[in-house]
């Protein structure tokens, strides 16, 4: 029986990788290999040709505000093709400020407006102050039933628009911001201000995306003695307990 190949796309791996976001792709590669699939990851950046129809999963990480502007300008070349894949239900994850690209515009802290992709009807207004800290995220959308842990470091400000928010945020100790709703969700696109390797830190969310990619429902637990997954889950449960 021929092994099915799964292709992952890591967009702007060099510019939008501020807090080790690459590990989200790495842990998915491992999980999919564990499930018996052949996995290939392509890395694409500014100026590259991108055939969105080739991929089973798309990931964009977090970056500086300057990198964010460079990426949204580059993505305008492929906006229609990208949107077609999202509307078709391709699993897509955007961490940190990369999810702001799917709105209509981003206004930076100097008041300059940058046109975004316009998939969803919201706009982001940034401020020079920053929102930073650990948090616990409670899924509101049908993602998973477990609390998620995250770290947020974003420009202050607000998002304006009538969009579905996938998470309710509970601030962790020292976070310095009030509980609120955050993120975006559309079909199988998930965006969140949580940054860094959130799929490493949150096995339930990692399994959720692996299920979407493969079309197979996991049991959420390992039947075999998988040491990596065991320690990954232990770290997750410990962090949930300490941050809450």
- Quote the domain boundaries for residue 154: 5-243
pLDDT over 80 at 226, yes or no: no
CATH number of the domain residue 188 falls in:
3.40.50.880
Q: How many domains, the chain?
A: 1
pLDDT tens string 160-196: 888 888 988 876 544 455 557 888 999 999 999 999 9
CA distances (Å), origin 122, targets 73, 107, 139, 208: 18, 12, 20, 26
pLDDT tens string 107-145: 988 899 999 999 999 999 888 888 788 888 889 867 777
188-198 burial string, b = 16+ CB within 10 Å, else e? bbbbbbbbbbb
Model confidence band, residue 232 (pLDDT cutoffs 50, 70, 90): confident
Mean pLDDT, to the nearest integer, of 43-71? 95
Rounded CA-CA distance 98/77 in Å is: 17
């Amino acid at each position: 029986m021929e092994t099915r190949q799964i292709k992952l796309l890591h967009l702007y791996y060099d510019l939008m990788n501020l807090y080790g976001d690459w590990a989200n792709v790495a842990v998915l590669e491992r999980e999919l290999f564990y499930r018996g699939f052949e996995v290939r990851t392509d890395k694409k950046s500014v100026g590259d040709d991108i055939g969105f129809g080739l991929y089973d999963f798309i990931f964009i990480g977090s970056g500086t505000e300057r990198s964010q502007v460079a990426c949204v300008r580059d993505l305008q070349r492929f906006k229609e093709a990208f949107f077609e894949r999202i509307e078709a239900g391709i699993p897509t994850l955007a961490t940190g400020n990369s999810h702001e690209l799917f709105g209509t515009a981003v206004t930076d802290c100097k008041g300059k407006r940058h046109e975004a992709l316009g998939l969803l009807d919201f706009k982001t207004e940034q401020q020079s102050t920053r929102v930073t800290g650990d948090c616990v995220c409670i899924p509101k959308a049908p993602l998973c039933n477990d609390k998620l842990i995250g770290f947020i470091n974003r420009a202050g400000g607000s998002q304006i628009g009538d969009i579905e928010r996938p998470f309710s945020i509970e601030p962790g100790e020292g976070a310095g911001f009030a509980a609120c709703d955050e993120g975006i969700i559309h079909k199988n696109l998930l965006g969140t201000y949580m940054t860094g390797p959130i799929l490493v830190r949150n096995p339930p969310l990692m399994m959720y995306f692996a299920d979407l990619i493969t079309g197979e429902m996991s049991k959420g637990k390992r039947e075999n003695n998988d040491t990596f997954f065991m320690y990954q889950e232990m770290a997750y449960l410990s962090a949930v307990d300490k941050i809450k």
